[in-house]
Structure 1
Amino acid sequence: MKMSATILKNEKSYVSSLLKYLPNFLSISRALSLFIIIKLYLSHEYAYGFLIYSLAAFSDVLDGYIARKTSCTSRLGSIIDPLCDKIFCLGLVVFLFSQNKISYWYAFLLLFRSLGQISFFFLAFLTRLNVKVDPSILPKFSSYIIYMILFFSFLSFCVKFSITSHILSCLIFCSVFFELVIITLYPFRLWQILKGKRLGF
């Protein structure tokens, strides 16, 4: 009985260790899937590319859920997850722009906001400024809209429905609105961070 209890304890410890690193593994896999998706679409394997994108997008929800449910959140994970999200989304936005699926001004807006944010966190790291990578509800909601834009943009390669373009137009309009609001709020939130009144955006 004692040996069985020891084996069971070791198995639980092993599973716990796996779950600890699973969210980060999913985040990194999502970023790397960017190249697979682009390769499939360039090869006109639209259905497979759309499937891989859908699975990668779902992994963004899954890794956060696993991290919260297993209490495996960490500072490293809080950096890896949003960084991989930005690599994934921005890479696909640039690709869709090259395929004339997304306008240049919208791609520029997303790149401007994201690169500015990445630059700030990089400088904060170099200067040892205490900044927490914990986005508020507005940037999170904006990210979900971007994922939906990517979803319908990639879907438009597979099916040609007029409603798809209408949905895309509405989503892009909403995304632009939220991006402009976020960019407008950044100087104020940056000032709060520098004053020590706020830890993250």
Structure 2
Amino acid sequence: MQRILKFIPNIITASRIIMSALFVSNVLKQFRYGQEKILSIAIIFFLICLSDLIDGYIARKSNCTSRMGAKLDIFADLFFIVSSYVTLVILRIMPLWFLVFVCLKFIEFLYTSNFIRKCDEVSAHPFIFDKLGRIVSAMFFIVPGIICYSRFSCTVNFLLYIILILGVLSSYLRIKECFEWN
């Protein structure tokens, strides 16, 4: 039983990749082809968010955390974010600059995590998170759902600029921390 339980968090995480493809497909059907898919988009988006919340929780509670699971979780998150953002950019619903910013933020996150982990030999986790960065990444995650339901582009643009400011601040603090370790 314990061996089966060990795989449940990773199965939930992997299902997020499949749900991301379904989300993108439904967004395309809704906004490009005019098919009424708004309920499907909402349900799939809810399930994607739920899977992101429960996979790590189950892994920690069942003592089944692993480096592979952590990397799979980051990959599934990135797959959802990038695939949905690319789709929204192609549909001209989201500005390209925000997708570029998200990619740059992710690259910064990988480099600074690697640097901090090498300097702080206590941490065994492959990724080092900061509080502000967690907030920004959560915002990255919910933006596609907000955009699909918001009819007010100025409100969405305001949100994107707030995320940009918080993300730049998070990057500044992480890079500053790297220099302090040096």
Is TM (by shorter chain) over 0.5?
yes
Residue 70 of structure 2, aligned match among 70, 78, 81: 78
**Aligned residue type for 1:142:** V
- Equivalent in the alignment of 2:34: none
Q: Partners in 1 of 2:3 and 2:52 — Cα distance?
A: 20
Contact 1:27 1:63 in 2 (8 A): yes
> 2:21 aligned with 1:35, yes or no?
yes
For residues 91-114 of structure 1, the C-alpha deviation after alignment (integer angstroms, 9 at most, x for no partner) is 211111111221122221111121
Is 1:132 the counterpart of 2:120? The answer is: no
Q: How many residues align?
A: 170
Counterpart for residue 175 of structure 2 = 187
Partner Cα separation in structure 1 for residue 180 and residue 63 of structure 2: 29
Q: Could you give the per-residue CA deviations for residues 84-132 of structure 1, whole angstroms, max 9, x where no partner exists?
A: 21121122111111112211222211111213444x38xx6xxxx5773
Deviation (angstroms), 1:22: 1.5
CA distance in 1, matches of 2:162, 2:80: 21
Q: Distance in 2 between matches of 1:166 and 1:61?
A: 29
The letter for the 2-side match of 1:35 is A
Rounded Cα–Cα distance in structure 1 between residues aligned with 2:101 and 2:24:
22
Residue number in structure 2 paired with 1:142 = 136
Structure 2 CA distance, aligned partners of 1:136 and 1:112? 17
Deviation at 1:171, TM superposition (A): 2.5
Please say if 1:23 is aligned against 2:30: no
Identity value in percent: 21
Q: Which runs of 5+ in 2 are unaligned?
A: 31-36
Q: Which has the larger radius of gyration?
A: 1
Matches within 5 A, 1:1-201: 14=1, 16-44=2-30, 45-118=37-110, 120=111, 132-156=126-150, 160=151, 162=152, 165=153, 167-191=155-179, 195=182
Output the CA distance in 2 between the equivalents of 1:31 and 1:81.
Answer: 10
Alignment TM-score, normalising by the size of structure 1 = 0.72
Unaligned runs of 5+ residues in structure 1 are: 1-13, 196-201
Counterparts of 2:138 and 2:3 in 1: how far apart (Å)?
29
Shift of 1:175: 0.8
**What is the identity, as a one-letter code, of the residue corresponding to 1:174?**
I
Question: In the alignment, is the contact (CA less than 8 A) between 1:148 and 1:171 conserved in 2?
Answer: no
Partners in 2 of 1:182 and 1:96 — Cα distance? 25
Structure 2: how far apart are the matches of 1:40 and 1:132?
Answer: 33
Whether the 8 Å CA contact 2:89–2:95 is kept in 1: the answer is: yes
Q: Please list every run of at least 4 consecutive aligned residues from structure 1 whose deviation after the TM superposition is greater than 4 angstroms.
A: none
> Over aligned residue pairs, what C-alpha RMSD do you find?
2.7
For 1:186 and 1:136, how far apart are their aligned partners in 2? Answer: 8
